[in-house]
Amino acid sequence: MAVQYPQIGKWFRRPGGALFEVVAIDEDDETIEIQLFDGTIGEFELDRWPELFVVEVSAPEDWSGSVDMDPEDYAGKNDGDIPTGFHDPLSFLDKL
């Protein structure tokens, strides 16, 4: 099996089922930073990568796993109304 090289934004699965995304590669420290699907941040030494036997997979369809939010946290509280202050996405900018 060919080694799957780490690439920022790519998703991988380790043997045993751990699903994670590569979020950073630090060439100075020779580390790869990952984020597991549940939001946990981890790090591997760059030279250990081939020993992990990871397989590249497609990104999960349910993005909310790493956000640590329940559906009722991001669902509207006002029966579909937009919360106050969110009508104009640029309203928080200083106006000259």
Instruction: Please report whether residue 22 resides in a domain.
Output: yes
Q: What is the domain count for the chain?
A: 1
The pLDDT tens digits for 1-19 are: 567 789 999 999 988 888 9
Instruction: Please report whether residue 25 resides in a domain.
Output: yes
pLDDT in tens, the chain (96 residues): 567 789 999 999 988 888 999 999 999 999 999 999 888 999 999 999 999 899 999 988 875 555 555 555 545 555 555 555 555 656 656 655
Q: Which domain holds residue 21?
A: 11-58
Instruction: Please report whether residue 18 resides in a domain.
Output: yes
CA atoms of 82 and 87, how far apart (whole Å): 7
Length of the chain: 96
Task: Give the global pTM.
Answer: 0.63
Instruction: Please report whether residue 66 resides in a domain.
Output: no
Per the prediction, the chain carries an average pLDDT of: 77
Q: Name the nearest CA neighbour of 32 among 49, 19, 15.
A: 49
Instruction: Please report whether residue 88 resides in a domain.
Output: no
Q: What Rg, from alpha-carbon coordinates, does the chain have?
A: 19
